Amino acid sequence: MWKVGTGENISISQDNWIPDYVNGRLMSRFDNLQCDKVVGLISNTKREWDKELIANTFPEDVAELILQIPLSMNRMKTFWPGAENHQVNLYSRRLGNSRLCLRCSGGEETLNHLFRECPVSTEIWRLLSDVDLTGYIAVEFSEWLTTAMVSLPLVRCRLFCITLWSIWGDRNSRIHDKSSRSSQEIVRFINSYLHELDGIKTNISKNPNEIRKWKCRSENRLKINFDGAFDGKNKVSASGVVVRDRRGNVIISSAIIHRGVQTAFEAEALACRHATQIALEMERKDNIIEGDSLSVIKKCQNPDQDKSQISPYIFDVHSMKSRDKSLKYEFTPRSANNLAHVLAVESLRRKEDFYLINKVPEFVEAQARSESEREPD
């Protein structure tokens, strides 16, 4: 996922830094720019593109592509996109310090070697007898991947995907944490993770008709709900946030439109970051932030450095949370997050930002009223 951090080390004309630009590099200088670095295109006062400068400098199609590139909220490192060709060595993607496989040192670390040829991986596949991939040995990596996804039964496909994720995670742990696991340990982790997923499914199925609703806290705390809505076609998302007191009265309602968003996962992380910003701006202790994205909530609760595709946003959340250690993050089901959900969906549909004090937009007044009428716990 391509994101710009400071932009200080990216050349506007010489680097291939604009996704989907057909010519790759711009390969020309622009007279009205003081320097050839991307940092010059970012506003000095706030972390956003200088839209006027970009519109007056570049052709319309190039300016539109630049404005779609997300900026990290903090001045952190740039996240370069990886190449798509599976034969490209992972070293050339800047994902490691050596061209050799970190686990076996027996071959160049391509995706094909990492997932299929490395002895550690082949032993993992052998131990997982439920996934029979013997019929796909002779095909290329991309074909192997897609064929397995299409042809395997749903349960085995789930196991296949979790195994790929575990192999990749072990590879990253060797780089970043200097830790490693044997094939047997990785298989035990896979089986344990599957068991945990099955346990969650069982707990949900015990009360299939139980619908949780938003509830007020009895203690004197504010509850901040967030949700993200995502338009994959146009790469646009909206963050909906609502702050309520223990009686369900709305303190703040807000929505922000984000452009250049790549996934729904990223949309949820952006919404969580927006909720955290609002929590800090209120300067009140013991606030609770609720969202219906379990993965995002867990990443916010975990103090360790995140290494997923949404790591820039989790980094921002952790940085803000360090200024208010009383801030708590809790998961809530969608049924108990309706107000934030409607705010996000309607804001995305209308392409409108808003920030309201002690009220919500007209389109969601009935929902807010019905939830505020509920008795506190």
Q: Give the residue among 323, 222, 327, 230 at the shortest CA–CA distance from 269.
A: 230
Region 24-51: what's the mean pLDDT? 78
Identify the weakest region by mean pLDDT among 40-54, 63-77, 229-243.
Answer: 63-77
Q: Which residue has the higher pLDDT, 197 or 350?
A: 350
Q: How is the beta sheet containing 223-231 ordered, strand by strand?
A: 328-331, 288-291, 223-231, 236-244, 250-259, 354-357
Task: Looking at mean pLDDT, say which of 62-76, 85-99, 277-291 comes out highest.
Answer: 277-291
State yes or no: pLDDT of 25 exceeds 60: yes
Rounded CA separation 219/245 (Å): 10
Give the distance, in angstroms, between the CA of residue 231 and the centroid of all CA atoms in the same chain. Answer: 15
pLDDT band at 79 (very low <50, low <70, confident <90, very high): very low
Query: Domain 223-372 falls in which CATH fold?
Result: Nucleotidyltransferase; domain 5 (3.30.420)
324, 280 Cβ separation under 8 angstroms: yes
Q: How many angstroms separate the most distant Cα atoms in the chain?
A: 67
Give the pLDDT score at 1: 53
The three-class DSSP label of residue 294 is helix
State yes or no: pLDDT of 107 exceeds 70: yes
Rounded CA separation 38/1 (Å): 18
Q: Using alpha carbons, list the distances in angstroms from residue 57 to 2, 11, 29, 31, 41.
A: 22, 15, 10, 9, 10
One-letter amino acid identity for 257? I
* DSSP line for 12-38: TTTS--STT-TTSS--S--TT-SSSBG
Residue 329's beta-bridge partner residues?
289
Give the pLDDT score at 270: 95
Domain extent listing, the chain: 1-81, 111-206, 223-372
